[in-house]
Structure 1
Amino acid sequence: MQLTNDHIDYIIKDLNYRGIVHDDLQHEFVDHICSAVEEKMQGNVRFLDAYHAVLQQFGHTTGLRQTQLQTISQQNTQIKIMLRSYFTIALRNLRKHSFYSFINVAGLSVGISICLVILLFVLNELRYDRHHERVDRIYRIHAEIDFAGNHYDMTYAPAPMAATLASDYPEVEAAVRFREQGSYLIKREADNIKESKVIWTDKDFFKIFTVPLIAGNPETALAEPKSIAISKEIADKFFPNEEAIGQTLILDNNMTMKVTAVYQDMPATSHFHFNVLIAMAGLDEAKSPVWFSNNFQTYFLLRDGANVKNLEEKFPDLITKHVMPQMKEVLDDFTPEKFAEAGNKLVYTTQALSDIHLYSSLQGEFEPNFDITYIYLFVAIALFILIIASINFMNLSTARSANRAKEVGVRKVMGSLRSHLMRQFLMESLLLSLFSFILAIGLAYLLLPLFNNLAARELSLPLTQPFFYLFILTGAIVVGFLAGVYPSFFLSAFKPVNVLKGNVALGMKSGFIRSSLVVFQFMISIFLVIATAVVYMQLDYIQTKKLGFNKDQVIMVDDIYALGNQRLTYKEEIMRHSFIENASIAGYLPVAGSNRSDTPWWIEGKEANQENMVSLQNWQVDHDYIKTFGMSIKEGRDFSHIFPSDSNAVILNESAAKALSFNESIIGKRVNTFGDDSNGDLNKGNLRVLTVIGVVEDFHFESLKQSVTPLMMFLSKRPSGYLSVRFQSANAEEVISMLEKEWKEMAPGQPFTYQFLDDSFGKMYAAESRLGSIFGIFSSVAIIIACLGLFALTAFTAEQCTKEIGIRKVLGASVSSIVIMLSKDYGKLVLIAFVLATPFAWWGVNEWLQSYEYKVNVAWWVYMLAGVVAFGIAWITMSYQSIRAALSNPVNSLRSE
């Protein structure tokens, strides 16, 4: 006879009544008593008689309580001995099952190393601009403008904004402006050195930003015109082993600047990195009173205790007081109401300094920022990989449980409590976790250079900080406990009677939890595979899309102004070579980072109001610009030396022609804009008039995240910027050598630098390229770790079906049929994972692609291919264990029967 559930419930309640309440001991008493009662009931003894006979052997209530006290006392006095025993047995078991131990350690260490690298990256991104002492009170002006059909979301503000904030608004303690004007050639006496990290700024720079000075007075360093502050890097470059203060540097061969301060190099975790600060007091443009010309990045320091929202609420009044009156002077029939009715908008808001790096991607950013969305994504990936690795640990542990079931049964019969067994298995888990963390540190150390290269960062492990090792130890304990707590409960719960009879209660008979874990693992893996594929498809689309110009075989010589009056001569000399197809001098290029300028224009004969004006990009070019960049004239003609009147001619792109003429032919019509007065300000009475001679096909001159906006090109009176040279593809090295030779002859002492147009174009998508590479690596890691988990479950299934496989083989089953039997259930789980992952992946990639105005069309087969790849890899993983089990000798599995 066997005990029923009612019998077991009766025993549990009776033991509670007798005072056996210690959880572990009660479980052991119930286990021992139930086994003893079952043996007596085999002789046709009634349950109650058998139970009381067993109780008598224990000494009834008094004996049970004494046994409980003695056991607890022994536990308390033998902890050190038991811990040493746990440790010894754990090492013995790990060595005995070295292959599975290796898989456990490998899976955990890879997952932990990835988490460690991502954690370092995330902490680094969150530290941006936190080194400023007043970071919580520093803000930047953000301008959002809709005017003449164009939308601007930018960091630029008018020249008078900073002074007005500081003088008229009590919430503002100080304000500072920045003005970028490109790179500069800098020299002390002889040869120039090109420096790109140069900025004009106001005298309160050091008051607002925490940039420690090595020498100089922060209050007066940038107060006077023609004074500059330089970084330690620049000081060491131009004044090695000398005092830089009071020395002079020459910028662009014509501006002599006095060094008034030397500051520490700006940290990597700053959203700007300037090596040279030029005093804004010497820039005429900074004195402009015009409020609707936005060219300056403006930052301000909020007074302690002030509320930035209260300040923002005053910005509409600032616009009404300063901007609107000036717009009324130049726009016919202007009123704020008509301005708004025409769909126009001007809004100023603020951005916290601490938010810029992760939450801002405006026009005019000093450097490319990161995106908080990617931070969340990387953290999620790190957690998923760690969870997958921990899941694998649990599955591998339970997969080997059948081999340890008899060990558990024997140890229980010999007197081991369940708590002892749980501690034993947790010790093994903690040891594996500790080994994995130690190995993970080594893997992270090896991975960091690769990750730094991909992410364009300079991360390093804090190996000299004690906190790092405390973190590693804590992490090892937490991960070891979480990963081992389920196996310890599972293995220690085996009943010795059933185990020693060969009936192992495996738990979770439905397999639902294990199946769910496999589905979860492959959902993440398939999601990452799809995301990686779409990122690479979008990058390929960007590289192959028709752009409206030819970016290949074009080399750009920088800083052509360094040639002075010989720039045209240099171009003519270059054009004499047979392998040069064309060349053009212009600072406006169809790649981000080159010159940009826009003003409102309207068709002559119409009123100058917001209904008729169209904001156009104004590009100054030369006669050969369109031919050099391979653009296509859709209507009219190109600039020509034959027509002297082309000095007052203009070529529009298709978007500009459509916006100005409303689909009518615009060739021969004249367009107007406001000219400048003697102070450089817009003058309503001084109109500039140009005649349209051609329309060029729309071309992408910004990132494909933006649509093509209206643009006009007119001839520059003094071309400058870059010399763009189109050459024959087989002669790149010869072209560079020739360009440098001619340069050195005409501009001795001036640095010769160049870049390829397609490289500059690719830099606009460097972040996406890095993201694709990182996603590819994470996807591979996730799939590998998920396959380890699948390997574990296949091993688990094969071990539990050993006798069934033997019987099937004896009855004539083929190897292929057995492989299919063992693999099909887990193959179904991968298919379920694909079905569940696809909607999430579709949503995720579409959200990411929304940031692009021009994007790839992701066909259904991309999702299907990702599923096939994941299924194929999973099938290969499963096949190893399945074929191994199917080929085993059935005699070995059936001999015990």
Structure 2
Amino acid sequence: MLKNYLKIFVRNLKKNPAYMMINILGLSVGMAASILIFLFIQHELSYDKYHENSDRIYRVSRSFFSQNGEVNLHLGHLAPPFGPLIKSDFSQEIDEVVRVINTEVVLKDEDKVFEEKKLYFSDPEVFKVFSWKMLEGDPLEALSFPDGMVISESMAKKYFGNADPIGKSLELKIGQVSSNMQVRGLMQDIPDNSHFKPDFLVSMELVTDFYGGYEAMMQNFGSNNFGTYILLSEGVDPDNISAQIPAFLNRHINVGDGGTPPASWTNLHLWPITDIHLHSNLDSELEPNSSIEYVYIYAAIAIFILLIACVNFMNLATARSAKRALEVGLRKVMGADRKLLVGQFMSETIIMTFLALVMAFLLAVLTLPFFSDFTGKALSINLLKNPEYLLGMMGLVIIVGVLAGSYPSLFLSGFQPVKVLKGTYKIGSIHEKFRSGLVVGQFAISIVLIVAVLVVVNQLDYMKNKDLGFQKDQVIVLPAFEDFVENFETLKDRYLQHEGIENLALASRVPSGRLLDSQGAKAEVNGELTTMDIRLADIHVSHSFMETFGIQMASGRDFNYQLASDSTEAFLINQSAVRAIGWRSDEDAVGKALHYGNRRGYIVGVVKDFHFESLHQPISPMVFMVPTDRFNSVAFRINKDRSEETIAYLREEWTALKPDFPFNYYAVADRFDQQYEAEERVGTVFGFFAGLAILISVLGLFGLSAYATEQRTKEIGVRKVMGASIGSIVLLLGKDFLKLVLLGFLFAIPIAWYGMNSWLDGFAYSIGVSWAVFLIAGVIAAFIATLTVSSQSIKAAMINPVKAFKVD
């Protein structure tokens, strides 16, 4: 039976090669796109599942509440005492606890000096919790030594070439502190599907010393810099531990001035490690995560493209039904029942789908390197290492085959032999309407994707060009080391003599970063000093900060270097802080008392609101002060016409001041743009796959229009004899298809409107979805459809009428 079906398929392929190739090509393009997308989705869903005990590993996060109980800050990091205290208090429920803390350092090996961003200080238990493979050294002992360091394979090659790294030393520098570390372990590179990927693991002893020793570190509940992970004992319910957290917090954290228990203003939360990558986008993370929303978006795109390809198949198969009507009639007369005919047509579809899969696999393999570069993921189609991929592809053949072939099979097998053999059988209006509905669905999906592309592009353009309330362009940032801070005013005067440097300032954080620092506050409201139930983010700055960034005053004055009290008592706040505290106006806030952390002072000025963070976040209430420490960065405003010369000058100065540290800077404008990389990637994905969706739709429309014009050849000949122009014939043949595109456009509007508004809700500041976007999308779809249909219509309209009436 199968052999017979194969013969029939080959015969039809020879008789209708163009029809077969359009169908196979449409299916193959759709399946190739789906294979690539599902590879990406599979990779995203696999994060951290490679750990042997992934189902028992949890990351602990910390949230803070305002007085009304709302979360105003949620960090993926904890203060240093929490790890040891959790291990001690929950020793029956928790097998291991490990803390890691990430910082940028400089590593030096003789003449090699590099700035490393993926160095993590870690407790020795790290290899008991995470299933990272140690190639050399003892995983249980390597980080127990004060100078212990574990290095990855790629870093070992970078520093030591092909030599054995074990026993080698690297000089580690953090600010003014230098330490010689000994490589005591070599680990395999951390898998790409990890939510954080250390290149170096270093003993926690150095961090303990930084905090002033173990006892001092165990009293510090405010420095939330430690990623903290727990390995639950077998059978332990994490909810039972979560229920005990409030009592744990009240037991260990001192009650504040107001007498409120700690559990009323802070809490700890347990996150399964396998949920972090797609479900955790907290105010601080060890490394940037993705979002489950984008997985849903990519999955929807894959399904849409497959549906479009399947719709093509259905349309072309049913449109050419008359070509096979006689075959079906004869088979039924010879005794074939409907079940047998359905099996035949389904078998033909499965064979075509299999051929499309072979072509799709080749297309996917050829385009995978580009897709991997684009997504930034190490994707591969290795059927030997991943036999489930082969099963998945076979499943794809069956799903697509059944989906694409079900309706044509039922339709073709339903022909009535008597009417077919008499030549009186006609396709019913229901089937014609169904086929038209499929075309409408195709173009609706294509238009939705076009709208998505336009909205994403417009939102990105809005974010990159929106006035942020300060001058972000031509500001570059360098790390501020101790000598620079101590001699800042002297160095500032020297640098300002260079014509390329317009201003410079010190800061604990600069715009484009996150506002993670805050302290308790009391403010003078209605003549009384009142405890604030809001979060005021603090930024430590030098006197020239506002001027360097072009931040404008709304009321009062800026910091003044000539006034010594500005370094001990003065505060600047932004307009959002004025509203949050409850003052009537910006002017009303000036002169009011403010107690913030350990500083007692008053407001000297209010700055206009500006976007310190990305447009994903609303503008936070902020307070600025001039301290003597906690400066992490120095920002330079440089002349745009002398950028290269100025950067070269700063490089020379840096080398003279800090010869052992590489000169690495970033531009504030670039770092703002980098925060929208995920959106840029989504826009590109939408654009690419919208193009594929349109291509597949065009293939189907081309086939349908070619068949429609073929069926109306004699009608066209009669119309030409009666004097019809080419334009009128083209309009006659094309208007029916354009009506379907218009219907698709109308169906697409509510779907695209809802979907893109939901996506824009993820931004604190966004554009609206304007009608212009829908109009442009509709025009694009109509233009493409017109070109496709016209190519066939014009060809038919230009045929000599004599040929139209010629009997073959």
TM-score normalised to structure 1 length: 0.81
- Corresponding residue number in structure 1 for 2:594: 671
- Corresponding residue number in structure 1 for 2:120: 199
Take 1:642 and 1:417, find their aligned partners in 2: how far apart are those partners? 100
Q: 1:619 to 1:474 in 2, by over 3 A?
A: closer
Report deviation, 1:764. 1.0
Report deviation, 1:197. 0.7
8 Å CA contact 1:245, 1:261 repeated in 2: yes
- Corresponding residue number in structure 2 for 1:523: 444
The one-letter amino acid of 2:230's match is F
Take 1:607 and 1:309, find their aligned partners in 2: how far apart are those partners? 46
8 Å CA contact 1:190, 1:749 repeated in 2: no
- Corresponding residue number in structure 2 for 1:760: 671
8 Å CA contact 1:562, 1:747 repeated in 2: no
State the secondary structure of the residue aligned to 2:286.
Answer: coil
Take 1:161 and 1:552, find their aligned partners in 2: how far apart are those partners? 41
Are 1:296 and 2:226 an aligned pair? Answer: yes
- Corresponding residue number in structure 2 for 1:729: 640
Are 1:267 and 2:191 an aligned pair? Answer: yes
Report deviation, 1:136. 0.3
Take 1:295 and 1:530, find their aligned partners in 2: how far apart are those partners? 42
Instruction: Render the CA deviation track for 1:347-367: whole Å, top value 9, x for unaligned.
Output: 332111111111111111122
- Of the candidates 766, 772, 776, which is equivalent to residue 855 of structure 1? 766
- Corresponding residue number in structure 1 for 2:289: 369
Instruction: Render the CA deviation track for 1:363-384: whole Å, top value 9, x for unaligned.
Output: 1112221211221221122122
8 Å CA contact 2:521, 2:531 repeated in 1: no
State the secondary structure of the residue aligned to 2:510.
Answer: coil
State the secondary structure of the residue aligned to 1:196.
Answer: strand
8 Å CA contact 2:101, 2:227 repeated in 1: yes
Instruction: Render the CA deviation track for 1:616-654: whole Å, top value 9, x for unaligned.
Output: 222122222212211112222222332233222322222
- Corresponding residue number in structure 1 for 2:495: 574
- Corresponding residue number in structure 2 for 1:17: none
Instruction: Render the CA deviation track for 1:315-357: whole Å, top value 9, x for unaligned.
Output: 222233334xx233xx24x345xx99xxx74333211111111
Are 1:115 and 2:115 an aligned pair? Answer: no
Take 1:610 and 1:374, find their aligned partners in 2: how far apart are those partners? 44
Mark the runs of 5 or more structure 1 residues left unpaired by the alignment.
1-78, 676-687
- Corresponding residue number in structure 1 for 2:53: 134
The one-letter amino acid of 2:620's match is T
State the secondary structure of the residue aligned to 2:644.
Answer: helix
Instruction: Render the CA deviation track for 1:407-454: whole Å, top value 9, x for unaligned.
Output: 556777788887776666555434432332222122212322332233
Instruction: Render the CA deviation track for 1:768-816: whole Å, top value 9, x for unaligned.
Output: 1111111111112112212322333333433443444444444444443
8 Å CA contact 2:537, 2:622 repeated in 1: yes
- Corresponding residue number in structure 2 for 1:655: 576
Report deviation, 1:118. 0.5
8 Å CA contact 1:582, 1:726 repeated in 2: yes
Instruction: Render the CA deviation track for 1:90-132: whole Å, top value 9, x for unaligned.
Output: 3343244332233222211110110010111011011100111
Instruction: Render the CA deviation track for 1:157-198: whole Å, top value 9, x for unaligned.
Output: 333222222111222222222333x31011134453100012
Are 1:211 and 2:138 an aligned pair? Answer: no
- Of the candidates 147, 160, 163, which is equivalent to residue 66 of structure 2? 147
- Corresponding residue number in structure 1 for 2:554: 634
- Corresponding residue number in structure 1 for 2:792: 881
* Aligned residue-pair number: 792
Q: 1:405 to 1:809 in 2, by over 3 A?
A: farther
List aligned pairs for 1:801-840, cutoff 5 A: 801-840=712-751
List aligned pairs for 1:164-243, cutoff 5 A: 164-169=85-90, 170-180=92-102, 182-243=103-164
Report deviation, 1:853. 1.3
- Of the candidates 13, 28, 36, which is equivalent to residue 94 of structure 1? 13
Take 1:505 and 1:422, find their aligned partners in 2: how far apart are those partners? 20
Report deviation, 1:226. 4.3
8 Å CA contact 2:500, 2:643 repeated in 1: no
The one-letter amino acid of 1:288's match is M
Take 2:695 and 2:740, find their aligned partners in 1: how far apart are those partners? 17
The one-letter amino acid of 1:392's match is N
Q: 1:509 to 1:713 in 2, by over 3 A?
A: closer
Take 1:571 and 1:698, find their aligned partners in 2: how far apart are those partners? 27
State the secondary structure of the residue aligned to 2:290.
Answer: coil
Take 2:525 and 2:803, find their aligned partners in 1: how far apart are those partners? 100
- Corresponding residue number in structure 1 for 2:358: 438
Are 1:794 and 2:711 an aligned pair? Answer: no
Moved more, 133-142 or 714-723: 714-723
State the secondary structure of the residue aligned to 1:197.
Answer: strand
8 Å CA contact 2:106, 2:113 repeated in 1: yes
- Corresponding residue number in structure 2 for 1:776: 687
- Corresponding residue number in structure 1 for 2:44: 125
CA RMSD of aligned residues (A): 3.1
Moved more, 309-318 or 868-877: 868-877
Take 2:524 and 2:315, find their aligned partners in 1: how far apart are those partners? 78
Take 1:852 and 1:435, find their aligned partners in 2: how far apart are those partners? 44
Take 1:413 and 1:893, find their aligned partners in 2: how far apart are those partners? 33
Take 2:689 and 2:654, find their aligned partners in 1: how far apart are those partners? 47
List aligned pairs for 1:208-607, cutoff 5 A: 208-252=129-173, 254-284=178-208, 285=211, 287-291=217-221, 294-323=224-253, 326-328=254-256, 331-332=257-258, 334-335=259-260, 345-406=265-326, 425-426=345-346, 428-462=348-382, 464-465=384-385, 468-469=389-390, 471-473=392-394, 475-476=396-397, 478-495=399-416, 498-507=419-428, 509-558=430-479, 560=481, 571-592=492-513, 596-603=516-523
The one-letter amino acid of 1:205's match is V
Moved more, 600-609 or 291-300: 600-609
- Corresponding residue number in structure 2 for 1:678: none
Q: Select the structure of larger CA radius of gyration.
A: 1
Report deviation, 1:719. 7.0
- Corresponding residue number in structure 1 for 2:535: 615
State the secondary structure of the residue aligned to 1:640.
Answer: coil
Instruction: Render the CA deviation track for 1:548-575: whole Å, top value 9, x for unaligned.
Output: 1111112223465586867766655433
Take 2:260 and 2:419, find their aligned partners in 1: how far apart are those partners? 91
State the secondary structure of the residue aligned to 1:741.
Answer: helix
Q: 1:695 to 1:498 in 2, by over 3 A?
A: same
8 Å CA contact 1:454, 1:773 repeated in 2: no
TM-score normalised to structure 2 length: 0.90
Report deviation, 1:267. 0.6
The one-letter amino acid of 1:143's match is R
Report deviation, 1:748. 2.5
Instruction: Render the CA deviation track for 1:642-668: whole Å, top value 9, x for unaligned.
Output: 223322232222222343461352333
Instruction: Render the CA deviation track for 1:41-73: whole Å, top value 9, x for unaligned.
Output: xxxxxxxxxxxxxxxxxxxxxxxxxxxxxxxxx
8 Å CA contact 2:74, 2:284 repeated in 1: no
8 Å CA contact 1:561, 1:567 repeated in 2: no
Identity of aligned residues (%): 39
8 Å CA contact 2:504, 2:544 repeated in 1: yes
Take 1:281 and 1:758, find their aligned partners in 2: how far apart are those partners? 37
8 Å CA contact 2:97, 2:228 repeated in 1: yes
Moved more, 526-535 or 85-94: 85-94
Instruction: Render the CA deviation track for 1:225-276: whole Å, top value 9, x for unaligned.
Output: 4433332333333344444444433222523334333322211000001122
